[in-house]
Amino acid sequence: MSRIDDMREKLAGLNPVLVDIVDESHKHAEHAGAKDGGGHYLLRIIAPCFAGKTTMARHRMIYSVLGEMMKRDIHALNIQAKTPEEV
């Protein structure tokens, strides 16, 4: 399973309407985290569970479901998290 597939599987726990993950690691090949194998990703996610949550709370929810991936597989994650009503 690829990292993106693994991320999608974990994020499914948030019952998203949309999950779009773009691997931007190639743009950061010289960064220390990239050299250690951690990827750089852009995540666009739309989920009703974000309603009433601050941006920080939404990010924490995402970090929580991604768990250990945030420590070893993901060096940087650019998050765009919205509710269906916000798009």
pLDDT, tens digit, 9 for 90 and up, residues 10-66: 999 999 999 999 999 877 666 555 556 678 999 999 999 999 999 999 999 999 999
Domain membership of residue 19 as a residue range: 3-86
pLDDT digits 0-9 by tens, 63-85: 999 999 999 899 899 999 999 99
SS3 12: helix
Per-residue pLDDT, 60? 98
Helix H or strand E encompassing 71 = helix 69-72
Q: What is the pTM of this model?
A: 0.89
CB atoms within 10 A of CB 87: 9
Please state, in angstroms and rounded to a whole number, the distance separating the CA atoms of residues 2 and 58.
24
Number of domains composing the chain: 1
> CB-based contacts of 61: which residues, under 8 Å, 6+ apart?
14, 49, 50, 53, 81
Please give the pLDDT value at position 32.
Answer: 58
Which pLDDT value is given to residue 28?
62
Write the CATH number for 9: 3.30.300.90
